[in-house]
Chains A and B, each alone.
Chain A
């Protein structure tokens, strides 16, 4: 009855409402789009601080926000935004200002091809895994340029370490991805998840998962592989000159990248959104539920490492990547190639 009483909205407004309610815009802006990525970055920081506090027998964020200090990260962000943006004397100004923004874009674009359920993906492509890896390979470049453009000795040393570390761990990452693609016979995240309906790839490819997991931690620059931004020795490494929103953007980009890598791992090795069916829940809700549960467990393991392990030296990081992970990844591909061949021979 009330609908009949209201006048119909004028055409431009009608179009706007239709545009905002359209599936494409909802996916791009809310879930799994921009709002989701931003909120996820904030929640990940809060979760990490709480978790590490529990590991160290502290309370962690407490005062801001009613439940568990969950607004503390928002308060920190507001504080960063109200600080002066100081450009150092020796910095290359344009590169210095633009690169943190480029880092956020590169980190956020990783989410564009990751599916969170059969319906929940921004862009579905037949080559989504390759697109993901391409974006992942591009994402360190803004960070390396940011370290270079700062014009500081600490930034330069951190940038060099970062470059060497990323180069050393990109190839094991790629090789373990090859094993997954070979076993699923698909370049698509959907095809890879569908191939894991019976058993997730972590069981036949445990070697590949180990290689991928270690390379992931290194790519995301987490402890024990955070030599480039060593807080104590190198005073934040390549990020040291960044003030205010520059630092905020770099941190947001790094956490976004970590989350994207965790979600990709869930799709590649942990069976994606497959799980026991929950009575009373439609599949569109149950699939993201299982997906996020698996991702949360993986994220907890990654964040716990920061509370447990010390930092290892850059020489050991490089040695480990080149001398241990690459042979292991190659052996993994060999096993994956052998399995169907032996099945036909025997």
Chain B
């Protein structure tokens, strides 16, 4: 099985490359950390405390749409793959796809008016 061997060698080599880069960096670089160097970057301002506070995540409705569409995409994928096996089912699948496409076009037209999308 030379192909499986090739895949295994490739995985080992691609995992070795970043380790090699990191080791070379550790060997070549100077090491004298100071407090100033370790501060987070904030465009030259003095960084202020912000660690475990809440953060307003906008675009939250999009996350919900993602969940709905991810399921839908898997469904469409599986049903369209069914046509690979049975050609009689193709009409049903065309009807399903037409309904889904029409509803997604309707959704995309109305999503712009959704009030809480920001």
Contacts and interface: CB of A to CB of B under 8 A. Distances in A.
A81 interface: yes
B2 A174 contact: no
B68 to A, nearest CB: 10
A181 interface: yes
Interface in B50-87: 50-51, 55, 57, 59, 62-63, 65-66, 69-70, 73, 76-77, 80-81, 83-84, 87
Interface stretch (A26-34, A64-72, A197-205): A26-34
Contacts of B19: 101
B33 A86 contact: yes
Nearest to A151: B40
Given A168-B62, A323-B111, A181 B81 contact: yes
Nearest to A182: B80
Contacts of B3: 24, 122-124
A244 interface: yes
Contacts of B33: 84, 86-87
A254 interface: no
Interface in A302-332: 314-315, 318-319, 322-324, 326-327, 330-331
Interface stretch (A46-54, A271-279, A289-297, A335-343): A335-343
Nearest to B8: A28
Given A90-B51, A171-B70, A29 B41 contact: no
Interface string B23-35: 0111011111101
Contact of B22 (A27, A109, A245, A341): A245
B26 to A, nearest CB: 7
B14 A37 contact: yes
Given A34-B13, A333-B76, A324 B108 contact: yes
A175 B77 CA distance: 8
Nearest to B110: A323
Contacts of A338: 94
Interface residues of A, number: 76
A256 to B, nearest CB: 9
Contacts of B39: 88-89
B74 to A, nearest CB: 9
Interface in A96-130: 97, 100-101, 104-105, 108-109, 111-112, 122-124
A241 B40 contact: yes
Contacts of B90: 337, 340-341
A156 B80 contact: no
A240 B59 CA distance: 23
B104 A337 contact: no
Contact of A178 (B41, B80, B107, B111): B80
A207 B90 CA distance: 21
Interface in A179-198: 181-182, 185
A151 B47 CA distance: 12
A298 interface: no
Contacts of A109: 10-11, 14
A24 B41 contact: no
Contact of B24 (A24, A81, A314): A81
Interface string A157-182: 00010001001100100110010011
6 contacts: A101-B19, A151-B40, A240-B41, A245-B24, A330-B97, A337-B90
Instruction: List 6 A-B pairs, minimum CB-CB distance, nearest first.
Output: A28-B9, A101-B18, A245-B25, A108-B14, A323-B108, A24-B5
